[in-house]
Homo-oligomer: A and B are copies of this chain.
């Protein structure tokens, strides 16, 4: 068992870690050499820190980002879902079903009047209607839905670009 050489524990991220994560959050495919050069680090140091961040669970994975319009799903919407009954079994079961519905990008479980917000991508308006009728309102526990067209989604600044 290797004694850890100060592997960055989850609670103590320094500014260097934040800059590393900031780059990786934008482009996870960057090579270790390029990353090291960009931050003025030695390659060995850079590789070590990145691995430590991975092992600490700060980096949970890497995902390819897709152009949904090019894939044939140019229409996006937010579907607000309100329940009639809030037993834990109802909520959990519905949440799983909604998240698994085809076309759902993200499913938010919220506090407030709306129980869930579904961010969905579909082919066209007809497909959107079909989605709601088929995968949302069919559940008996769903009392009400409200669907809003998404004009545009932008990635935000994220949490890393803060003043240290």
Chain A residues proximal to chain B, CB less than 8 Å: 1, 3-4, 7-11, 13, 21, 24-29, 56-74, 78, 95, 98-112, 114, 117-121, 123-124, 126-127, 130, 148-163
The CA-CA distance from A66 to B118 in the complex, in Å, is 21
List B contacts of A120 (CB < 8 A). Answer: 156
Question: Are the CB atoms of B29 and A100 closer together than 8 Å?
Answer: no
A–B Cβ pairs within 8 angstroms, 19 of them: A4-B124, A7-B74, A13-B72, A29-B62, A59-B64, A60-B67, A61-B64, A62-B64, A78-B110, A78-B117, A98-B156, A99-B156, A102-B158, A103-B158, A104-B156, A107-B153, A108-B152, A109-B151, A110-B150
Instruction: Find out whether the CB atom of B99 lies under 8 angstroms from the CB atom of A157.
Output: yes
One complex includes copies of this chain to the number of 2
Q: How far is the CA of A117 from the CA of B149 in the complex (A)?
A: 12
CA distance A126 to B114 in the complex (A): 23
